[in-house]
Structure 1
Amino acid sequence: MTEAALLPAPPLEKRDWIAGLEKGLAVIEAFDDQHPRLTASQAGARCGLTRTAARRYLLTLAHLGYVGTDGKLFWLTPRILRLGHAYLESARLPRLVQPFLQRIAGGTQEVAYLGVLDGADTVYIARSGAHRHMNTGYMLGSRVQAQVTAAGMAILAGLGEALADQWLQQHRLSTYTPYTIANPDELRAELAQVRRQGWALSEQQMELNYRGIAVPLLDRNNAVHGAISITMPINQEHRDDAVKRLLPVLQEAARGLRPLI
């Protein structure tokens, strides 16, 4: 996410606005892990539509194969993955970073990720390495509130103090563990530290016994485009040892990517 991504969207002429497209996308976004199956009434309530209107959108999506239904409930089908897959196939940044993630994984025996900022969340759009713990790790497209990830902290710090403050004003901070930084003032202090040192360390912010280390991806003009990170169990490895082992590898990759972004 660059600085421009935090600014308001450019104005759109009324004649160019397609309200039906906006509403159809809102219906798709009504589904999540807490709402995997919805009635037309529930979908309408979640996206500000009447039951009748929501039902028409859902039936259209079902006809196109993006939604399944038993006549009462609706749910997303695997075809919806075409939308996200199209981004991963066409976006330049994941393809550019992927070979570097492979080298990081090969050199550290850890899983390496590329994360970007989307609203309140870090979204992971590339990863590499076969995780030693198969029940853990972020999948492609995983979304996690930015302040509890090392990648999100590296990106927020890289945006600069003014834009980071703007982000803080726009989003509510959730608490996940006793270690989560959910106080805006404490988070500002932590971001200032990350900004000074040029890298981020996150311990047990999202999940107990897990640690993340990240560095921002900057271009020639020092604009931040994302962050590369490693997330792994803390186990018996001291934080200083983990930083000493992993940070130089991440920093070398970020330096190699800088002239390419």
Structure 2
Amino acid sequence: MIASPQSADGNRLDDGSGDTIQALVRGLQVIRAFDARHQRMTLTEVAGETGLTRATARRCLLTLHQLGYVSWDGKYFGLTPKILTLGYAYLSSTSLPTIVQPALVHLSQQTGASCSACILDSTEAVIVARASPQRFNSTDLGVGSRLPLYCTSLGHVLLAELSDEQFEAYLDQTPLVSHTAATLTQAEDVRAAVRLAGTQGFAINAEGLETGLRSISVPLRNTLGHVVAAMSATVPVSVASEQEMQDRLLPVLRSQATLLQQMLTA
């Protein structure tokens, strides 16, 4: 099930304070239920994914259908391209994707890796720019895709910038679910990986989220030195070992991060 939406500081939005519109909260829950693994769902499936009653889920879906954000063939619901207008409001209001995208294209062409830039959004990382010469596996990631923090190199880099209090709060509220045999599912292992990322200034993760892939990530800082995003390069594990990632990919990632810092104003 999908948890209730959270604000940027991690607090529940539907806290009963009377300051939230519950219909909007539930509508956003329904939208977020759709992803690469749930592209088309029945009413019952949507209710199950969101934890809403069938009646509430039905009202949300029919409202979204009337507004043009959801398609419906009489049985299955799915998102329509119009849903992209919701994300475009953010993308058009920030220069980060525009600045980072050319660098990712250059990196991908130079290294043959799939390259992404992510920002921290509550308890997840969200891809805001991406370039890939090929698909390495079945996972279809793109701009707007959300990634767990505890089992990805991008996530470890972003978590390393949190205060100890913020990091422990994240661990307390995040189920460490296993995605592969290599996923870190123990809090102490996550702590160790994040501490290492903070100490060395980069993170490497092999098969933590998807079998067969290894990634390396570095922080993207603005002109004040604050981390605003993380940038990664991903290749099949058969293509490069951890040491080869450090020798071949880390220098070019850091070089691009240094160049980008001059353009990322506070």
Q: 1:195 to 1:83 in 2, by over 3 A?
A: same
For the residue of structure 1 that corresponds to 2:143, the secondary structure is coil
**Which residue number corresponds to residue 37 of structure 1?**
41
**Which residue number corresponds to residue 188 of structure 2?**
185
Q: Does 1:61 align with 2:64?
A: yes
Q: Which has the higher contact order (CA 8 A, sep 6+)?
A: 1
**Which residue number corresponds to residue 28 of structure 2?**
25
**Which residue number corresponds to residue 247 of structure 2?**
244
Q: Tell me whether 23-32 or 154-163 shows the greater mean CA deviation.
A: 23-32
Kept after mapping to 1: 8 A contact 2:108/2:115 = yes
Quote the Cα distance in structure 2 between the aligned partners of 1:53 and 1:175.
31
What CA RMSD, in Å, does the superposition of the two structures yield over aligned residues?
Answer: 3.1
Q: Does 1:147 align with 2:174?
A: no
Q: Tell me whether 168-177 or 76-85 shows the greater mean CA deviation.
A: 76-85
How high is the TM-score relative to the length of structure 2? Answer: 0.81
**Which residue number corresponds to residue 4 of structure 2?**
none
Q: 1:127 to 1:35 in 2, by over 3 A?
A: closer
Q: Tell me whether 86-95 or 187-196 shows the greater mean CA deviation.
A: 86-95
Quote the Cα distance in structure 2 between the aligned partners of 1:183 and 1:130.
34
Quote the Cα distance in structure 2 between the aligned partners of 1:123 and 1:244.
27
> Could you report, residue by residue, the CA deviation over 1:67-99 in whole angstroms, capped at 9, with x for unpaired residues?
222445433333223323443344321112112
Quote the Cα distance in structure 1 between the aligned partners of 2:133 and 2:45.
39
Residues 65-84 of structure 1 mapped to structure 2, 5 A cutoff? 65-84=68-87
> If you compute each CA radius of gyration, which structure gives the higher value, 1 or 2?
1
Identity rate, percent: 36
Higher normalized helix content (fraction of residues): 1
Query: Which of 241, 253, 260 pairs up with 1:257?
Result: 260
Letter matched to residue 142 of structure 2: M
Q: How far is 1:157 from its partner?
A: 0.9
* Runs of at least 5 residues in structure 1 that lack an aligned partner in the other structure: none
Kept after mapping to 2: 8 A contact 1:203/1:211 = yes
How high is the TM-score relative to the length of structure 1? Answer: 0.83
Q: How far is 1:132 from its partner?
A: 6.4
Kept after mapping to 2: 8 A contact 1:137/1:231 = no
**Which residue number corresponds to residue 206 of structure 1?**
209
Q: How far is 1:8 from its partner?
A: 4.4
> What is the number of equivalent residue pairs in this alignment?
257
For the residue of structure 2 that corresponds to 1:237, the secondary structure is coil
Kept after mapping to 1: 8 A contact 2:136/2:235 = no
Residues 108-187 of structure 1 mapped to structure 2, 5 A cutoff? 108-131=111-134, 133=136, 138-187=141-190
* Runs of at least 5 residues in structure 2 that lack an aligned partner in the other structure: 1-6
**Which residue number corresponds to residue 233 of structure 1?**
236
Kept after mapping to 2: 8 A contact 1:111/1:231 = yes
Quote the Cα distance in structure 2 between the aligned partners of 1:72 and 1:122.
32
Q: How far is 1:142 from its partner?
A: 2.1
Query: Which of 94, 97, 109 pairs up with 1:94?
Result: 97
Q: Does 1:107 align with 2:110?
A: yes
